[in-house]
Amino acid sequence: MILNPEMECMPREELKKLQSERLVWQVKRMYENVECFRNRMDEKGLKPEDIHGIEDLSKLPFSYKSDLRDYYPYGLFAVSLDDIVRVHASSGTTGKRIVVGYTRDDLKMWSECFARMLSALGVTKSDVVQVAYGYGLFTGGLGAHQGAEYMGCTVVPISSGNTALQIQTMIDFESTVLCCTPSYALYLGEEIEKLGVKDKLKLKVGIFGAEPWTESMRREIEEKLGIKAYDIYGLSEILGPGVSGECECQSGMHVWEDNFIPEIIDPDTGEVLPDGATGELVFTTLTKQGFPLIRYRTRDICSLNYEPCKCGRTHVRMRKPTGRSDDMLIIRGVNVFPSQIEEVLLKVSGDSITPNYQIVVDRVNNNDTFDVNVEMSEKLFADDIKSIEKVEAKITDQLRSMLGIGAKVHLVNPNTIQRSEGKAKRVIDKRKLV
Ligand code: DLL
């Protein structure tokens, strides 16, 4: 079943025409309402009248995550706060979170994008959708929730965590669709295997995203849960889950191009790369009213596939992101910047620790491990073990409140973290995601 064949299967020429009209509209209203965008246009000597359609897209200025920090919290909104009905937030590169806002129409568009994917996977109003993404400021929980509700499904808003309850709920409520991060899906699969309750499950479809995952993970999840597992992509700045999603072909995520224009650029020069090339993904929001963005640098590295999809949808497919052009890590589905950790260490510092630290991330039993090794000062080293434990506990607490996830903090002896002759190697990511 396809929810909206006119839109999803629209011939590309028509789609481009629609995008052009929407781009012209968006640029004009953003120039009028968003100071940051107006300044960037003025710096380039551009006026909205210079933009006639998508052929002029590459003339437009980029926007960056740092803009969200500089205009925190509401400075990039294109409507008055009276018209914003929801905000979400995500990690910034520093202690300040980035904040995004949605009008009622934006929420409807978001719900539709998510529902399109459900529909593409054969999910109907008869399905029971267990939403095990986190609810709250993170877009995962509410994004999946409203999309499934819009579709008319029965939604189980269980949120993330509490694995025993997740499994019991899945069995008792006869959930047929599971939405969560792929690493959590794998963990659930293992627990289900241990409990020997796979036969009691009614699950058939999994919608997994918010972090990179591999084809081998897909196969393992499918086998352990007895389902078909699909990839979904999104980011808070653009929408949340549903910017793109796989169809039944499982061969790339359709970007809903009536709402978003994707581009692939060279992350160093900003130059637009030819179709099919790998580079940094950039998005322009065409229909979003509350928090629109033009040419937003996602920092995700991937490529676009313009070849026709067997499903008949004409919207371009993005391949799985393979990495980032910045230093953001995704640990247990949460975005973490090394600079956030540095900020905490600076605050704690005093004369107890040195500036030498290392973040070590690994995946053990399908769970991300997150260790922060910090060199203590000679002074603390000479002190008793209680003082050392106290500093460790303080850093642990502050990291948890900054990031929302727990890290194991180890104060290590002075001069034990390897020095580098060039850039310090702050992050060791041992997870294999090829
Ligand atoms: O992760 C939104 C989301 C929720 C997507 C639930 C899918 C499902 P943020 O917390 O702002 O938003 O993180 C966005 O996560 O720039 C990517 O680096 C990464 N990411 C999201 N989906 C995928 C995916 C949500 N399917 C950042 N594969 C993005 C790889 C992904 N990376």
For the chain, give the mean pLDDT. 94
Please write the tens of the pLDDT for every residue from 226-262. Answer: 999 999 999 999 999 999 999 999 999 999 999 999 9
| pLDDT average, residue stretch 78-103 | 92
pLDDT reading at 434 higher than 60: no
| pLDDT average, residue stretch 310-329 | 94
Instruction: Check pocket membership of 337 for ligand 1, CB cut-off 6 A.
Output: no
pLDDT reading at 293 higher than 80: yes
Burial of residue 272 (CB within 10 Å: 0-12, 13-18, 19+) is middle
Instruction: Check pocket membership of 139 for ligand 1, CB cut-off 6 A.
Output: yes
Instruction: Check pocket membership of 211 for ligand 1, CB cut-off 6 A.
Output: yes
Mutate to test the pocket of ligand 1, among 325, 335, 336, 429 (most ligand atoms within 8 A of CB): 335
One-letter amino acid at 331 equals: I
Instruction: Check pocket membership of 335 for ligand 1, CB cut-off 6 A.
Output: yes
Instruction: Check pocket membership of 210 for ligand 1, CB cut-off 6 A.
Output: yes
Instruction: Check pocket membership of 91 for ligand 1, CB cut-off 6 A.
Output: no
β-strands 205-209, 228-235 pairing: parallel
Q: For ligand 1, atom 15, name the residue with the nearest CA.
A: 210
Q: How far is the CA of 300 from the centre of ligand 1 (A)?
A: 9
Instruction: Check pocket membership of 233 for ligand 1, CB cut-off 6 A.
Output: yes
Which band of pLDDT confidence, cut at 50, 70 and 90, is reported for residue 398?
very high
Q: For ligand 1, atom 13, name the residue with the nearest CA.
A: 235
Question: What is the per-residue pLDDT for 1?
Answer: 47
Other CB atoms within a 10 A radius of the CB of residue 59 amount to: 12
What pTM was estimated for this model as a whole?
Answer: 0.92
Please write the tens of the pLDDT for every residue from 11-43. Answer: 999 999 999 999 999 999 999 999 999 999 999
Question: What is the per-residue pLDDT for 264?
Answer: 98
Asked if the peptide bond before residue 267 counts as cis, ω within 30 degrees of 0, the response is no
* Rg (the chain; Cα; Å): 23
| pLDDT average, residue stretch 124-142 | 97
pLDDT reading at 98 higher than 50: yes
Tell me the C-alpha distance between 46 and 325, whole Å: 28
Tell me the C-alpha distance between 314 and 306, whole Å: 8
Nearest ligand 1 atom to alpha carbon 328: 18
Distances (CA, A) of 196 to 87, 217, 224, 431: 41, 20, 11, 28
Instruction: Check pocket membership of 321 for ligand 1, CB cut-off 6 A.
Output: yes
pLDDT reading at 141 higher than 80: yes
Question: What is the per-residue pLDDT for 5?
Answer: 75
Q: For ligand 1, atom 16, name the residue with the nearest CA.
A: 235
Which band of pLDDT confidence, cut at 50, 70 and 90, is reported for residue 130?
very high
Q: Roughly how many angstroms between the first and final C-alpha of the chain, as a whole number? A: 33
Question: What is the per-residue pLDDT for 3?
Answer: 56
Which band of pLDDT confidence, cut at 50, 70 and 90, is reported for residue 182?
very high
Percentage, residues of the chain above pLDDT 90:
84
pLDDT reading at 100 higher than 90: yes
